[in-house]
Structure 1
Amino acid sequence: MEEAGTKKRKMGERRAADNKKATTTAKWPVVKPKLNLQIRRLKDTDLFTVQNLFSAVESRAFIKAAESIGFEHQGSLGPTRGEAYRDNDRTSVNDPALADAIWQSGLSKLFSDIKIRGKVAVGLNPNIRFYRYKVGQRFGRHIDESVDLGVGKRTHYTLLIYLSGGSKTNGKSDSSKQKDSVSEPLVGGETVFYGSRNGVVAEVAPAEGMALLHIHGDKCMLHEA
Structure 2
Amino acid sequence: MPPKGKKKDSTPAASKAAPTSSTEQKPPNWPPFRPLIPSSDLSLQQVLPGQIVTIPNFWPASLCKTYVSFLASLPLTTTPGKPKKGEAVRVNDRFQLQDPVFAKRLWEETCLRDLVLGTVETEDGMSLSPDERKDLWGGQVVGLNPNIRIYRYGRGQFFDQHYDDFNNVVIPGDPAIQARTTWTLLLYLTSPATGCIGGETVFYPEPPKGRSKRDPPPEPLAVGLEVGLALLHRHGAECMLHEGREVLAGEKWVIRSDLCVQR
Scaled by the length of structure 2, the TM-score of the pair is 0.68
1:14, CA displacement in angstroms? 4.8
Summarize deviations over 1:184-221 as a string: whole Å, max 9, x none. 61111100001225644420011011100001110111
Summarize deviations over 1:82-141 as a string: whole Å, max 9, x none. 321111111112221211121121111111142137722121111111111111110000
1:57 is aligned to 2:34: no
Q: Which has the larger radius of gyration?
A: 2
Summarize deviations over 1:155-210 as a string: whole Å, max 9, x none. 1000000010141xxxxxxxxxxxxxxxx611111000012256444200110111
What's the counterpart of residue 190 of structure 2?
164
The 3 A distance-change label for structure 1 pair 155 and 118 is: closer
**Structure 1 counterpart SS, 2:111:** helix
Moved more, 33-42 or 117-126: 117-126
What's the counterpart of residue 92 of structure 1?
96
Scaled by the length of structure 1, the TM-score of the pair is 0.78
Equivalent runs, 1:202-213 vs 2, <5 Å: 202-213=221-232
1:223, CA displacement in angstroms? 0.5
Aligned amino acid, residue 137 of structure 1: Q
Summarize deviations over 1:5-57 as a string: whole Å, max 9, x none. xxxxxxxx953435532825423121245322201101334100101111112
User: 2:138 & 2:49 partners in 1: Cα distance?
Assistant: 20
Query: Relative contact order: is structure 1 or structure 2 higher (C-alpha 8 Å, sep ≥ 6)?
Result: 1
What's the counterpart of residue 23 of structure 1?
25
User: 1:48 & 1:89 partners in 2: Cα distance?
Assistant: 26
1:61, CA displacement in angstroms? 1.8
User: 2:141 & 2:87 partners in 1: Cα distance?
Assistant: 30
Aligned amino acid, residue 223 of structure 1: H
The 3 A distance-change label for structure 1 pair 14 and 160 is: farther
Moved more, 24-33 or 206-215: 24-33
Aligned amino acid, residue 208 of structure 1: V
**Unpaired stretches in structure 2, ≥5 consecutive residues:** 1-7, 13-17, 118-129, 171-176, 208-216, 245-263
1:147, CA displacement in angstroms? 0.9
**Structure 1 counterpart SS, 2:184:** strand
Task: Tell me, yes or no, if the aligned pair for 1:28 and 1:61 is still in contact at 8 Å.
Answer: no
Amino-acid identity (%): 33
1:82 is aligned to 2:102: no
For the aligned residue pairs, the C-alpha RMSD in angstroms reads: 2.3
The 3 A distance-change label for structure 1 pair 30 and 68 is: same
The 3 A distance-change label for structure 1 pair 14 and 54 is: farther
Equivalent runs, 1:1-225 vs 2, <5 Å: 14-17=9-12, 18-19=18-19, 20-21=21-22, 23-32=25-34, 34-36=38-40, 37-78=42-83, 81-104=85-108, 105-112=110-117, 113=130, 114-116=133-135, 119-150=139-170, 151-167=177-193, 185-197=195-207, 199-225=218-244
Moved more, 109-118 or 209-218: 109-118
**Structure 1 counterpart SS, 2:39:** coil
User: 1:16 & 1:68 partners in 2: Cα distance?
Assistant: 22
Task: Tell me, yes or no, if the aligned pair for 2:182 and 2:234 is still in contact at 8 Å.
Answer: yes
**Structure 1 counterpart SS, 2:162:** coil
Instruction: Give the total of aligned pairs.
Output: 196
Task: Tell me, yes or no, if the aligned pair for 2:96 and 2:147 is still in contact at 8 Å.
Answer: yes
